[in-house]
């Protein structure tokens, strides 16, 4: 059992969990993820390690409640436990001194970009962070990310915080201002990563995305996380999750994300019904 030491609502439908996981915390590096299994009947849920504390032996995950398993997780209370947490998995983000690195996080991807921005800052880079969300309610960790950023921007779709528009608009402004950018790191919804990638492509700015493909075993055995990169099949769990954005086939990624849509809808409906019967919601 992995005990939930802290649990917090950080945005509508998004919760933060601090887990007691000393073995994982000791080895975790920016860009890596864990797979959690809630109970004996639980699905495997891949989640990025949003923060880790080696001294305290804790890892932080931030979870958007989108379907059956993430909602089930939302019902587990602080002090209770999760059956299994496997990790750290995936190749860590390559951190070195590039010069100027722009870190772009969208939605729940804001959580995932934090350890990368921190790692890039610690390596001596000038870090420009751009966070984006639908409205100000979905922006979190503003102060935390500011502390590891030399420049910091927020964009919201409705203009309720920062600049009205998308993260890619802010990125384009920075490019148009002729700031020299050596690397762009981006994590968020697939469509956002695709647009960021198209924004940097004409300027030949190296761009890295962290792909959230469908994952099952997370060890390279099942093949469900396959993605096409540079015309070749790669497994996001063992070859990634980071890939050169300009070589990713985002259309295929989008299509594959929908593979289990029917089953997910049915599971979601069943979960809601069970919750109502048990009087949970």
Ligand X SMILES: Cc1cc2nc3c(=O)[nH]c(=O)nc-3n(C[C@H](O)[C@H](O)[C@H](O)COP(=O)(O)OP(=O)(O)OC[C@H]3O[C@@H](n4cnc5c(N)ncnc54)[C@H](O)[C@@H]3O)c2cc1C
Residues contributing to the site for ligand FES (CB under 6 A) = 215-218, 220-225, 235, 237
- Two tokens, residue 268: 């979601």
Name the H helices within the chain: 22-27, 68-74, 109-122, 142-146, 167-176, 190-200, 236-239, 250-257, 261-278
- Give the CB-nearest residue to ligand X: 67
Pick one of ligand X, ligand FES, none as the site partner of residue 218 (Cβ within 5 to 8 A by kind).
ligand FES
Q: How many residues bind ligand X (CB under 6 A)?
A: 26
Helix (H) or strand (E) holding 265: helix 261-278
- From the number of C-beta atoms within 10 Å of its C-beta (0-12, 13-18, 19+), residue 155 rates as buried
| Half-sphere exposure (Cβ direction) of 139: Cα atoms closer than 13 Å | 26
Q: Contact between 69 and ligand X (CB under 6 A)?
A: yes
Q: Contact between 108 and ligand X (CB under 6 A)?
A: yes
The dihedrals phi and psi of 156, each to the nearest 5 degrees, come to: -130, 150
- Cα separation, 187 vs 208, in Å, equals 9
Q: Contact between 63 and ligand X (CB under 6 A)?
A: yes
Q: Contact between 161 and ligand X (CB under 6 A)?
A: no
Pick one of ligand FES, ligand X, none as the site partner of residue 128 (Cβ within 5 to 8 A by kind).
none
C-beta of 62 vs 237, nearer to ligand FES: 237
- Two tokens, residue 62: 């931030």
Q: How far is the CB of 213 from ligand FES (least distance, A)?
A: 8
Among 151, 257, 272, 275, indicate the residue that binds ligand X (CB under 6 A). Answer: 257
Phi-psi region of 62 (alpha: psi -120 to 50; beta: other; left: phi over 0): beta
Among 113, 181, 185, 215, indicate the residue that binds ligand X (CB under 6 A). Answer: 215
C-beta of 37 vs 216, nearer to ligand FES: 216
C-beta of 38 vs 131, nearer to ligand FES: 38
Among 58, 70, 155, 156, indicate the residue that binds ligand X (CB under 6 A). Answer: 70
- Cα separation, 50 vs 194, in Å, equals 22
Residues lying near ligand X in the complex (CB under 6 A): 33, 43, 45-48, 62-64, 66-70, 108, 111-112, 212-216, 241, 257, 264, 268
């Amino acid at each position: 059992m992995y005990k939930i030491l802290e649990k917090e609502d950080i945005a509508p439908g998004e919760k933060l969990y601090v887990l007691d996981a000393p073995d994982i915390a000791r080895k975790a590096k920016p860009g890596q993820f864990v797979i959690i299994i809630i109970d004996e009947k639980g699905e495997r849920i891949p989640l990025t390690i949003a923060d880790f504390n080696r001294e305290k032996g804790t890892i932080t995950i931030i979870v958007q409640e989108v379907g059956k398993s993430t909602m089930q997780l939302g019902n587990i209370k602080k002090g209770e436990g999760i059956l299994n947490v496997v990790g750290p998995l995936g190749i860590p983000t390559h951190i070195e001194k590039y010069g100027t690195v722009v870190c772009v996080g969208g939605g729940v991807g804001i959580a995932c970009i934090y350890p990368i921005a921190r790692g890039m800052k610690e390596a001596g880079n000038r870090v420009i962070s751009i966070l984006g969300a639908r409205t100000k309610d979905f922006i979190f960790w503003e102060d935390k990310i500011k502390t590891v950023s030399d420049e910091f921007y927020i964009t919201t779709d409705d203009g309720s915080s920062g600049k009205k528009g998308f993260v890619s608009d802010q990125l384009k402004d920075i490019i148009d201002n002729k700031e020299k950018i050596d690397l762009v790191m981006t994590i968020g919804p697939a469509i956002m990563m695709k647009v960021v990638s198209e924004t940097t492509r004409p300027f030949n700015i190296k761009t890295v995305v962290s792909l959230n493909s469908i994952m099952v075993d997370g060890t390279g055995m099942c093949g469900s996380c396959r993605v096409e990169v540079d015309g070749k099949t790669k497994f996001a769990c063992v070859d990634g999750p980071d890939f050169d954005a300009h070589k990713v086939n985002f259309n295929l990624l989008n299509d594959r994300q929908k593979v289990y849509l029917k089953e997910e809808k049915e599971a979601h409906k069943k979960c809601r019904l069970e919750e109502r019967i048990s009087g949970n919601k």
